[in-house]
A = this chain, B = another copy of it.
Amino acid sequence: MVTGRAASPPTQANAEDPIVFVIDDDASVRDALSNLFRSVGLRTVAFGSAHEFLQHKPADVPSCLILDIRLPRLSGLDFQAELAKAGIHIPIIFMTGHGDIPMTVRAMKAGAVDFLTKPFRDQDMLDAVTTAIDRDRNRRDEAKVLANLRAAFATLTPRERQVMTLVTAGLMNKQVAAEIGVAEITVKIHRGQIMRKMAAKSLPDLVRMAGILGIGRASGGAQT
C-alpha cells in the first residue's frame, strides 16, 4: 500500500524507491521504526542525531523525515526551521512523548505532515509516511519542471527576456517594438529565438511557462 512493491520479502533495493529517514537518539526506537518500514518494503535510514543526518548526502528520491521533537542538541522544531532556512524541504513527521499544543501548532504551521504522540499505532505512522512521500514526490516533480524552465530562461539574453515578458503579457509585436524602442522586425527575430530557446511549441505554451516562472504580472493585453 505504501509503495507499489510487495511487502513481505525485503526485495532488492532500487535507486528509485523512496526513503524514510529517522532521527532519534534512542536506538530501540530507531530499530522499531526501521523494522516497521522495512516490513512494508520501504527503504529506511536511521540516525542518532540531526548532525549525522546532515552528514549524509541528500537522497535524490522522494523521501521524508521522522523526527523526535526532543533531539540531543537542538529541538526538533529548531531543526525543522534550520532545514527550511537551508532550503531543504523534506516533509517531516514529528513524534513526541511529552509534547504540548503550542509545539504542535508551530510544527504544523511550519508545514509538518503529522505530529504523532507516543505511543502511536503503526498504521498511523504508515499513513503519515505515505502522505509525506506523496507530498515530496509532487514537490520534486514541480521543482524539476521549474528547474528546467529556469535553465532555459537563463539562456535568454536580457533583451529576449524583456521581449518574452511583454509578449506573454499580451502585447503585439508592434506594441513591444514601440515599448522598447526598436523596429518590429527586431521583435520578431527575438521572439523566434525565444521560442527556440525555451522549446515552446506555441504561444500558449510560452504563456504557461511565463506563468510558472512568475514572469509578467501584467493583467491585460493588446487592444486592436
Q: Which A positions have Cβ atoms within 8 angstroms of B?
A: 96, 99-102, 104-105, 108-109, 114-115, 117, 167-172, 200-205, 207-208, 211, 220-223
Secondary structure type dominating chain A contacts:
mixed
List the number of copies, as a whole number: 2
What is the minimal beta-carbon distance from A79 to any residue of chain B, in angstroms?
A: 19
Question: Which residue, A101, A211, A221, has most C-beta atoms of chain B within 10 A?
Answer: A101
- Contact residue among B108, B114, B168, B223 (Cβ-Cβ distance under 8 Å from A204): B168
A170-B201, A172-B202, A204-B207 given. 17 additional CB < 8 A pairs? A99-B101, A104-B104, A104-B105, A104-B108, A168-B204, A169-B204, A170-B202, A170-B205, A201-B220, A201-B221, A201-B222, A202-B221, A203-B203, A203-B204, A203-B207, A204-B221, A205-B220
What is the minimal beta-carbon distance from A116 to any residue of chain B, in angstroms?
A: 8
- Contact residue among B96, B169, B201, B204 (Cβ-Cβ distance under 8 Å from A101): B96
